[in-house]
Structure formats: C-alpha cells, structure tokens
Structure 1
C-alpha cells in the first residue's frame, strides 16, 4: 500500500510563564516528532497573546503555528504528545487537504 502524505497545520498554546529556553525546547521537540516521518514547512511563533477566555486561571498564552506534511499516523502521535507534555495549554491539528 502506498504511503499517502497530507498537509497539516498545528496550533498550540504554551503556558506564558515558560522561559525562552523552555519554549524553544518544546518547539524543537514537536518539530522533531514531525520530522521523524514527515517534513515541516514552516514554524511561526506568534508570541504571547491574550486568550479569549481563561484557561487554568491564565489570561495569556504563547501561540505557535506549525505547518507540515506527513502521513496520517503522525498527527495522531503529535496530538498524543501535546496532551501529555507539561506546558501545553491547548492544541489543535487540522488537515488542510480536506
């Protein structure tokens, strides 16, 4: 069976109290997960933004947008890693091809 790749976008919000080193380490970690079996097109760090509603009593978050191409199993693994990583407040992965 042929391996089919699709284009995805992942947006995740990190806790605002993380240091710059911690933020860059998490961004590199998520990039490495995708690059294991896919390619990262772009990582756009939006920085600290005000949230629309409080999450865990926090009103700010550090936003990151990652655009990548990967097989269907990679977004599921990335979502699992988002959920178990300390410092990630929210995340969403969307397939742009559909």
Structure 2
C-alpha cells in the first residue's frame, strides 16, 4: 500500500557560525538531498526578506563546532522550505536535522489543503435592518 504524501513547511534557523553564503547553501542542499532521497520533492526555498539573518527573541545556547561548552547566540539565519513527503519519512528528516551542526532549531508543520466547495463561495446574505415603530 502506498503512503499518502502530504505538504509540509520546514523552518530552520542556521547558526551564525555557518551563516555565510557557502554554509547556508550547504545546509539547504543537505536538507534538500535528505527530502529527495526519501522520495519527496522540495517545492520552494525562501531565505529572502523577511527571512535571512535575523535577531532572535531570546538567546539560544548551542554547541559550536570544536568547543566543549555551549555558546549563546542572539541571531540566526532563517530559511523556509516547502516540500511534499510521505508521512513515515518525516522522522528520517528530523533525525538529519537534529544531527546537523549548522541547524540550531527547526519546525516542521503540515500544510492543510482546504477544498473550497460551491456552498462556501455562495453570495453573502443581504442584511435587512429591522425597524420597529
């Protein structure tokens, strides 16, 4: 039986240590390869305005490469990806994101496709003012 493919959005925050052009491109490529390797398809990648390098609401403590203790980061590079993938393969993607040094945080959400029926697009009802005299 074939698994149902769903549409997802993935927001990742890339560490400032990897936020140069090559580091961002490598992180996006690694995530895209994981998705396509699992049989999915990346439909869009957005790291232009309003995303990109942004100050975070609170500092995030993360391990930096080669350091024994955590560092506190106050900004990161935000990237939004949309893709479709089988529901069972999302765990493989999460595992890759957790093990990636470049990705500080991530959030995967399901994009619901709402079907518009003919009843929902009906003409708005006319409002009749009730005047009591």
Q: Same fold (TM over 0.5)?
A: yes
Structure 2 spans left out of the alignment, 5+ residues: 62-71, 114-133
Once the 2 structures are TM-superposed, how far is the Cα of residue 77 of structure 1 from its aligned partner?
1.0
Structure 1 spans left out of the alignment, 5+ residues: none
Work out the CA distance in 2 between the residues paired with 1:2 and 1:15: 37
Once the 2 structures are TM-superposed, how far is the Cα of residue 47 of structure 1 from its aligned partner?
1.0
Work out the CA distance in 2 between the residues paired with 1:82 and 1:3: 22
- Larger Cα-atom Rg: 2
1:55 matches 2:55: no
Instruction: Tell me how large the CA RMSD over aligned residues is.
Output: 1.3
How many residue pairs were aligned? 98
Aligned twin of 1:26 = 27
The answer to which of 79-88 and 14-23 deviates more is 14-23
> Equivalent of 2:109, from 85, 94, 98?
94
Aligned twin of 2:15 = 15
1:85 matches 2:100: yes
Cα deviations by residue, 1:21-77 (Å, 9 ceiling, x for unpaired)? 111011001011111201111000121001011001111000010000110122211
Structure (1/2) with the larger strand percentage = 1
Aligned twin of 1:35 = 36
